[in-house]
Amino acid sequence: MPNHTYIYENQAALYELMVSKQPLLSDVIARIAPYSGRYILDLGAGSGRLTAELANKAASVTATDLSPAMLDVLRERLARLDARTPVLTYAADHRQLPLADQSFDLVVSGWSICYLTQSHLPEWSDNLAAVMNEIDRVLKPGGSMIILETMGTGYTEPHPPEFLKPYYQALEQEYGFRHDWLRLDYTFDSVEQAAELTRFFFGDELGDTVKRNNWSVVPECAGIWWKRK
């Protein structure tokens, strides 16, 4: 598996190109938590896939991420969109947010908390507790949180990685999240682009599968977990 920390620091634009080939998520989020006119925190915002979509209707979006390079891409992207909604960015770890108590109506986090909660990390469960504490601290009473994570790239049915199963189970059983899954297939411009970008982020095994199957559409399943405070 390629080194994702290296990618987030040095290849943010390529990451952004890859996720731009997936469907939009604002309708999925709005069905769970109508967010028009709301104060939103995008935790682990990366290059701004969710921030850019939600900024359209939100009162404001605050985007945090460990990688300043990813946040640079996010700011460039928003400048191109000419979004009117205020967007604040902070380079910060999920476990220690430089944000005021009870300041958000909605916290979203896409494919990011998983970096702290992989079961081979001895501290994964303490990390999850620290992230949940921070989310709870910054959410207003009655606010909502929505977490998206992988259920398998290259699969048409949920196929969660073994090392994330304890985290997903904890969200549902320990922290009381509701759960569903959805397809978020990548629609690439060509088989060559599909092979190149999936190899770049997911590694040779998936890149080879994409080529062998002649896929320009690469199936992907995502899990979605949500809860109200």
Tell me how far, at minimum, the Cβ of 213 lies from ligand SAM, in Å.
Answer: 24
Which residues face 87 on adjacent strands? 61
For residues 172 and 200, give the distance between their C-alpha atoms in angstroms, rounded to a whole number. Answer: 32
Q: Which helix H or strand E contains 121, and what residues bound it?
A: none
Question: 44 and 111 in contact (C-beta within 8 Å)?
Answer: yes
Q: Binding ligand SAM by CB under 6 A: which of 41, 53, 67, 160?
A: 67
Q: x/- string (CB under 6 A) for ligand SAM, residues 34-63?
A: ----------xxx--xx-------------
Residue number with CB closer to ligand SAM (44 or 154): 44
For residue 56, give the amino acid letter: N
User: Which residue pairs from 171-179 have beta carbons closer than 8 angstroms and sit at least 24 positions apart in sequence?
Assistant: 171/147, 171/225, 172/225, 175/132, 175/227, 176/227, 177/147, 177/225, 177/226, 177/227, 178/225, 178/226, 178/227, 179/223, 179/224, 179/225
Residue number with CB closer to ligand SAM (108 or 195): 108
Q: By CB under 6 A, is residue 19 in contact with ligand SAM? A: yes
Return the residues of window 95-124 that contact ligand SAM according to CB under 6 A.
110-112, 115-116
Structure tokens at 156: 């048409």
Tell me how far, at minimum, the Cβ of 212 lies from ligand SAM, in Å.
Answer: 25
The CA-based dihedral angle spanning residues 139, 140, 141, 146, taken in that order and rounded to the nearest 10 degrees:
-40
Return the residues of window 141-200 that contact ligand SAM according to CB under 6 A.
none
Q: Binding ligand SAM by CB under 6 A: which of 41, 66, 171, 218?
A: 66
Residue number with CB closer to ligand SAM (155 or 211): 155
Residues that bind ligand SAM (CB under 6 A): 8, 19, 44-46, 49-50, 65-67, 70, 93-94, 110-112, 115-116
